[in-house]
Structure formats: structure tokens, C-alpha cells
Amino acid sequence: MVVRAAVLPAVGAPLEVTGIELPEPGPGQVRVRLAAAGVCHSDLSLSNGTMRVPVPAVLGHEGAGTVVSVGEGVTHVAPGDGVVLNWAPSCGSCHACARGEVWLCADALTGAGAVHARRADDGTDLHPGLNVAAFAEETVVAASCVLPAPDGVPLTDAALLGCAVLTGYGAVHHAAKVRPGETVAVFGVGGVGLATLQAARIAGAERIVAVDVSPAKEELARGAGATDFLLASDTTPREIRGLTDKQGVDVAVECVGRAATIRAAWDSTRRGGRTTVVGIGGKDQQVTFNALEIFHWGRTLTGCVYGNSNPAEDLPVLAEHVRAGRLDLGALVTERIALEGIPAAFENMLAGKGGRALVVF
């Protein structure tokens, strides 16, 4: 069966919306008809080579849809079930998984090297990007890459749970461990940043400062829970200290992946504060510190992969927040597009515009 998909023919090349031929699901596989797929900055990083995966590939890793068919041995989902795609399934047996750190699974992206489908026009083998190839009307994935969609959450909204929300919520609750009454600064008000702001509000943060290069993001940020909004500049750390009794925030979460922003987030935290880096930057982005300041400030700087989340455990928690009205998934979406709109969504990311663009099928 031929379905339409957004294909990355080579690193740095424009995406091509074309027909692809998907195989029927084999043992341990599931075929999913997509309802929606979020356009994440990681997809942009894959297209420009910041992150490397085999190409040509069908990109897209944040999605939800309905099971069409299942292969032999698949029992946790059945045709007709709603599912959320999990682009980083844990193997359960590597060193990280054995320690309970499933977000660091050594084998999470093994599936990205497999042949996923073929172009309908010339038969070229295609790889599944970050395992799940969500920029397509349908996809075939390993059974470990699908989780039952939570009840009471529309599939188009549930798509966001697969990356942006797990990452933002996990950055606050798992990595930074924000406590009630603390102050938080969030650098970068894209899809993940908006989820992080909502998560900080849910955690009970007393003051939440959003920082972005675009003044147009202020309304979005305040709607997500920010009590303050600052335009990013060389004076941002000083302005944040001015909002926090000259101390700095307890927690800064960086959602951009640039050396200057990471450094600004670090400089914005109080003595003994925590800085969590969610953004994915390139190898050329070098962040420097001197030995004396590390001792003097006593701050903690940590990376954060996939929100340090266990999707199987965290999705039900997030769903309860959605049903209770504490988490507004729709507020993360600033544009609903077709497959052909993905390149423009990439351009908007580069220009710092909007929140999450959502491909709706």
C-alpha cells in the first residue's frame, strides 16, 4: 500500500513529500495510521546534520494514531486502538536500563538503521528517522514504540505527549526536581519551552520567568504559566536577579541548545541553584567556565535526555493532568499544517517564531 510521507533524501536537502510503500507488519511490529505529528526541533537537527541518522529517511518522531494491524506476538495493542508513538523505546537489559535510567538506553535508536519502507517512484530504501517515521500518513514500527493512548485525550493532542510534553514535564519533575515555592527561568519558548512552563506551574513554582528572543512569545508564555517575560539579551541574567531579590532563580531550564543560552541560564541561577539543559546543540557550541566560579557558585549543571522520563510510567500521570485541566496540550500548538508545511515550520523554528507546529492528517 502506498502512503504519503515527508522524506529527507540527504542531509541538508529539502524534504520531499512523496509516496512510500510500507510492508505489512512482521512479528513484533505494529502498523499505525497517524492522526497527528508534531514538528520538533530534533527533526530540524536531523535534517541539517546536527544529529546523525541513516538517510534517506522518513522523519518525524512525535505522533499518535490508530492501530491498523499488528504482527505476530503483539498483545498489548490491537487494531482500532489509539496509541502514542515512543521514539526511544528501552531495551530493558543494557547497563542504563538495568539502573532504571531507561531514557539513556544504549539500544534505543537501533531501529533507525533498519529499512523502514521504499519510495514508490524508484524503490529507494528508506530509514525510519528516530525509529517511528511519524511524518507519514501511516507507519510500521516495533511494538515497543507504541504505548496505549490515554483515555479522554484526543489523538491529535496526544501526539504532543510523545516528545514535547514528556521532555518539558520531565525536565522540571525528574531532572531539575522543582519544588513548590521555588523560582524557575525557562529559556526558549517553543513547544518544549511551553510544556516546561506548564510543568513548572504544576510543580508549584512561585515565580516563573520565560526568556525568548521574540516579543511575540510573551502572550504564549504567560498563557502557559509564566509570571514574567524577558527578551533575551546580554543583560538577561542581571534582569533575572533583579526579579529574585538579587539572588537568581532556583532552577533554570535551557530549551534552545546554544552555548550562549546555556551560559546565560547558568548565570541566572542563584548560588547553589540548578541548571538543566534540554536543548540539543551542535558540537561547535562550546560552553566555558572557570574553575573558581564553579567552586564559588556551587551550582549544578545537568543534561536532560527525553525529560529523563519513563514513557510507560509518565504518560498516565500526564494524562491525569490533562483530564484535570492542569495541562493544556492545545496551548502548545500555534499552527496546524499538512505534510507540505513542514519546511516552513523548520524556517519558523530557525526564526524563533511560534510554538509547536502540528501536522494533522
Q: Residue 150, SS3? A: coil
Q: What percent of the chain stands above pLDDT 70?
A: 100
Tell me the pTM. 0.95
Q: Say whether both 145 and 112 belong to one domain.
A: yes
Q: pLDDT (tens digit, 9 = 90+) per residue, 312-340?
A: 999 999 999 999 999 999 999 999 999 99
Distances (CA, A) of 136 to 2, 3, 88, 89: 11, 7, 18, 20
Residue 346, domain CATH: 3.90.180.10
353 domain residue, yes or no: yes
Q: Say whether both 271 and 347 belong to one domain.
A: no
Q: Say whether both 73 and 91 belong to one domain.
A: yes
Q: Say whether both 127 and 151 belong to one domain.
A: yes
Residue 270 has pLDDT above 90, yes or no: yes
For the chain, the domain total comes to 2
Residue 352's domain spans which residues?
2-162+328-360
Q: What is the mean pLDDT of residues 135-162?
A: 96
Inter-residue long-range contacts of 281-286, CB under 8 Å, 24+ positions, other chains counted:
281/50, 281/256, 281/257, 282/50, 282/257, 285/257, 285/258, 285/259, 286/259
346 domain residue, yes or no: yes
312 domain residue, yes or no: no
Residue 295, domain CATH: 3.40.50.720
Q: Say whether both 300 and 156 belong to one domain.
A: no
Residue 352 has pLDDT above 90, yes or no: no
- Which pLDDT score, from 0 to 100, does residue 319 have? 95
140 domain residue, yes or no: yes
310 domain residue, yes or no: no
- Which pLDDT score, from 0 to 100, does residue 53 have? 85
Q: Say whether both 135 and 170 belong to one domain.
A: no
Residue 350 has pLDDT above 90, yes or no: no
Helical residues (DSSP H) of 190-329, grouped into ranges: 191-202, 218-224, 236-243, 259-267, 291-297, 311-323
Backbone angles phi, psi at 117, to 5 degrees: -160, -175
Q: Say whether both 75 and 114 belong to one domain.
A: yes
Residue 151 has pLDDT above 90, yes or no: yes
Q: pLDDT (tens digit, 9 = 90+) per residue, 132-148?
A: 999 999 999 999 999 99
Q: Which of 305, 320, 347 is the last residue of a domain?
A: 305
- Which pLDDT score, from 0 to 100, does residue 50 have? 86
Q: Which residues are within 8 A (CB) of 283 and not within 5 positions of it... i.e. 6 or more apart?
A: none
323 domain residue, yes or no: no
Q: Say whether both 35 and 59 belong to one domain.
A: yes
Q: Say whether both 137 and 195 belong to one domain.
A: no
Q: Say whether both 42 and 179 belong to one domain.
A: no
Distance CA 117, CA 131 (A): 12
Q: Which residues are within 8 A (CB) of 337 and not within 5 positions of it... i.e. 6 or more apart?
A: 39, 344, 345, 357, 358, 359, 360
Q: Which three cell numbers stand for residue 71?
A: 504482527
Q: What is the mean pLDDT of residues 167-179?
A: 98
183 domain residue, yes or no: yes
Residue 351 has pLDDT above 90, yes or no: no
119 domain residue, yes or no: yes
Q: Say whether both 156 and 16 belong to one domain.
A: yes
Q: Say whether both 173 and 274 belong to one domain.
A: yes
